[in-house]
Chains A and B, each alone.
Chain A
Amino acid sequence: MTSLATEAPMASPVAEPLRPIAVEMTGVDKWYGTFQALKGIDLTVRKGEKIVICGPSGSGKSTLIRCINRLEPHDKGTITVNGIELDGSPGRTQDVRLECGMVFQQFNLFPHLTILENCMLAPRLGRGVAKEQAEAIARRYLERVRIGEQAMKYPSQLSGGQQQRVAIARALCMEPRIMLFDEPTSALDPEMIKEVLQVMEDLAAEGMTMICVTHEMGFARRVANRCVFMDKGEIVEEATAEDFFGNPDSDRLKQFLAQILH
């Protein structure tokens, strides 16, 4: 029955009132030339939720997350971030980027600036924060990621894990409401993965809204409210971490899990 189907979500018991929506994507398509990287993506993320996105290489995970802060423009559908719709206007794009912090696989720290300067630059330029205040904010977040004593060093003097923690601190210095992570531990040596995941878990515990592309299944189980599986530009399956790993629905996800867990 169609009427039943449409009413079903409203009728479902709600333990606590639904939180406001942080990110909403509806029917999002993305093309690179003639190649379609995203196909009709629908995704809703509420404030404080932690979403883990995984899927095989080339499935469009990075593209999806990069559309949220418009590092890539989408071609169809709507993306709304904290009530701001990304319509291509520079003003909206800027506003959305002020809402979102992003952490990249390759860290992308500014190599010619010290750790402290890396963290102070965006607040100074983007938010017009005074120098002393920007430094205080930077030092506070560097302490939070447990790297305060390295503030005067340059990125090349730090290990990969330390650099990624600086990158997280740098993003936090803009005091974003949402954090986007694109495979933050994939470029790290195994012994450094834990320190970065720990920082991310601390952040999750503080209530940050987080969207993480990662294959760290332990992290996903401990932190994620929902896991999203992507393949060939589509969201194939979306479930709680428990169901996602314990009781996968689709064959594609089963295959994928078998590969990464073996």
Chain B
Amino acid sequence: MANPTPNPTANPTAMTPQAYLLARGRWHPLEIAFWLATLLPFILFPNYLSLASQIAITALFALSLDLILGYAGVVSLGHAAFFGLGAYSAGLFSKYVWGEPFSGLLVAAALAGLLGYATSFIISRFRHLPLIMITLGLGLLAHEVANSAHWLTGGSDGLQGVRTEPIFGVFRFDLYGKTAYAYSLAVLFIVFLCARRLINSPFGLALRGIRENWNRMPAIGADSRAHIRKAYTIAAIIAGICGALLTQTTNSASLESISFQRSADVLVMLVLGGAGRLYGGLIGAAIFMVARDQFSGIAPQFWYFWIGVLLVAVVMFLPNGILGGLSKIYAKWSRK
């Protein structure tokens, strides 16, 4: 600490370390282009705004999984539990309390966060196969609870009587999904900003440390379990928000929202897009959802044939997903 100003000659880029780390959090032009592009559906595909809204919600869900899986390396096969809890609580809130959407969102986020916090004490104790099993088990358990609590959730018939009031009392959820998409997109963007801030924070760095080397963390004085508990709770909150969005924009909540299928799908999307890259989940979700919409004519089992082939291919040939592959090509190309 004798010399607080670093020697600039030792640094080829002539950038102070602080400036270097600050620059990491700066917006890239491609990011701005990406977010501008999310507005295009309003103009180009006005008939597909409902789908666009579903994509935005799913993208946010993938982002939430990315925080724990991509950044902290915590594999979860039961993330839909929080999505489903958010979906049902927003639905029930609108049914029994009132239909104002923002308060419904907050209630769903709070409940999912509570469940996330409670289960994070279990999750953070495990790694590897036991972790996969525990998340799978908790996810299936959540599904069974929703299924057996027929009196509350409507079981396999789905939750009836959800009514969402207009946003700000003005913007009705219309048939074309215009309001739905605007609403979902706005929430996605706001939560994305928070997540972006989080991954560029000291906490985000600690999460990456956990992912990179779990064994080293205690040797630098880090309490990885405390970090994981926190990340897991935050991810659960976001997943709860996603579920609430789905309920509010579709005026229904079903068992599908809390199923293993949803947990597996979101994992596929994230890995396809590229985990640990913030935009990976968003891009993966967009591709997955558009593809599923395009192939909606074919029987679901054949859809899953291609998903299976895709998974094998990604694991074998594209270990960091589409974004990982692209950035590799970009790096090669810019080095020339």
Q: Do A and B bind each other?
A: no
Residues of A at under 8 Å CB distance from B? none
